[in-house]
């Protein structure tokens, strides 16, 4: 049995650790293990391979490695492995073993349970870009407002989560300042309150009554509060963002604020 089958299990203490592991991390373990095996790397040119069904062997080896676990835990272990395997398929790391050969000569793609690594999977730098690979696949750049796609997104996919949060709010501040123009000065929360505020420079244009003025005040409070809650603590080390999921949540708040600024600017321009 090839060494790749067992190498992904190195330093995993028990089956529970596999079950609780993020699907992306488990998937990348499979890639690293398969890439380390010369036989697997040759599959795309070796039509006579004898590797059999790789997924089946991964499952069998895990069950042997963690022998003695309860049947319920066996079932959860197998499901975790299968979920990670199909994550590789749906994210462009695996393709059917002979599909490309059949299609190249005009035949119907063969149905097979064997898979091979794609060219991307064989070449991507896993050691230095694991976090970036996982995050960029899960949260593609296109999801973000154009103002977040450089600094904030770059920090995000590199795992610099607190920096990404801070940069996202700086992007909001810059957008507000540019949209409000000569009507605002200063920085941070005070700038947000000036930009929206009761008179509606970036809020509801020409507020007609107390209710519309209050809406503008609420907008000012929203922007000022988000800046105070997210930007300042992240920038000064009073808040630490550990996971991609929680960071993504804040970036989506910044995303929405930026869209609101865009809408407000359009409204203002149409009323000038």
Query: Within the chain, what is the greatest distance between any pair of CA atoms?
Result: 79
- Over residues 136-165, mean pLDDT: 89
Q: What is the pLDDT of residues 242-267, one digit of tens each?
A: 788 889 999 999 999 999 999 887 76
Q: Which of 35-39, 70-74, 103-107, 152-156 has the lowest mean pLDDT?
A: 103-107
Q: What is the pLDDT of residues 107-130, one digit of tens each?
A: 444 455 567 788 878 877 776 566
Q: Which of 107-111, 140-144, 234-238 has the lowest mean pLDDT?
A: 107-111
Give pLDDT, residue 127: 63
C-alpha dihedral over 32, 36, 39, 41, to 10 degrees?
Answer: 60
* Residue bearing tokens 């730098």: 125
Confidence of residue 56 (pLDDT cuts 50, 70, 90): confident
Confidence of residue 237 (pLDDT cuts 50, 70, 90): low
Which sequence spans correspond to the domains of the chain?
Answer: 4-124, 141-271
Dihedral sign, Cα of residue 262, residue 263, residue 268, residue 269: positive
Distances 233 to 111, 191, 226, 229, 245 between C-alpha atoms, Å: 54, 18, 11, 7, 18
Enumerate residues 6+ apart whose C-beta is below 8 A from 66. Answer: 14, 15, 18, 77
Q: 87, 24 in Cβ contact below 8 A?
A: yes
Confidence of residue 72 (pLDDT cuts 50, 70, 90): very high
Distances 64 to 1, 25, 81 between C-alpha atoms, Å: 13, 21, 14
Read off the pTM.
0.58
**Element containing residue 43 per DSSP (H, E):** none
- Over residues 196-219, mean pLDDT: 74
Torsional class of 95: left (φ above 0), alpha (ψ -120 to 50), beta (otherwise): beta
Give pLDDT, residue 200: 56
Q: What is the pLDDT of residues 170-182, one digit of tens each?
A: 999 999 888 887 7
Q: 40, 34 in Cβ contact below 8 A?
A: yes
**pLDDT value at 168 more than 80:** yes
The token duo for 123 is 């070449």
Confidence of residue 208 (pLDDT cuts 50, 70, 90): confident
Strand positions, DSSP E, the chain: 94-96, 115-117
What is the DSSP secondary structure assignment for residue 110, as one 8-state letter? Answer: P
* Cα 75 to Cα 233: distance, rounded to the nearest angstrom: 43
């Amino acid at each position: 049995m090839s060494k790749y089958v067992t190498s992904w299990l190195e330093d995993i203490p028990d089956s529970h650790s596999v079950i609780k592991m993020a699907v992306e991390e488990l998937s990348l373990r499979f890639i690293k293990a398969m890439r380390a095996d010369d036989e697997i790397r040759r599959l795309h040119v070796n039509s006579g391979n004898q590797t059999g069904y790789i997924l089946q062997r991964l499952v069998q080896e895990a069950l042997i490695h963690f022998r003695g676990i309860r049947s319920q835990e066996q079932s959860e272990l197998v499901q975790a492995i299968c979920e990670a395997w199909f994550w590789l398929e749906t994210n462009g790391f695996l393709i059917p073993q002979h599909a490309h050969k059949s299609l190249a000569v005009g035949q119907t793609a063969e149905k097979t349970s064997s898979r091979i690594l794609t060219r991307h999977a064989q070449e991507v730098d896993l050691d230095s870009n694991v976090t970036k690979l996982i995050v960029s696949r899960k949260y593609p750049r296109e999801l973000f407002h154009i103002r977040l796609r450089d600094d904030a997104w770059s920090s995000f996919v590199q795992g610099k989560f607190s920096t990404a949060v801070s940069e996202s709010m700086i992007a909001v501040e810059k957008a507000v300042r540019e949209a409000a123009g000569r009507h605002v000065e200063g920085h941070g929360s005070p700038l947000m309150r000036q930009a929206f505020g009761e008179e509606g420079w970036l809020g509801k244009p020409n507020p007609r009554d107390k209710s519309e003025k209050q809406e503008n005040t609420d907008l000012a409070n929203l922007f000022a509060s988000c800046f105070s809650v997210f930007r300042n603590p992240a920038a000064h080390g009073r808040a630490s963002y550990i996971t991609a999921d929680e960071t993504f949540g804040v970036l989506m708040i910044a995303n929405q604020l930026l869209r609101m600024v865009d809408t407000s600017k359009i409204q203002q321009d149409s009323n000038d």
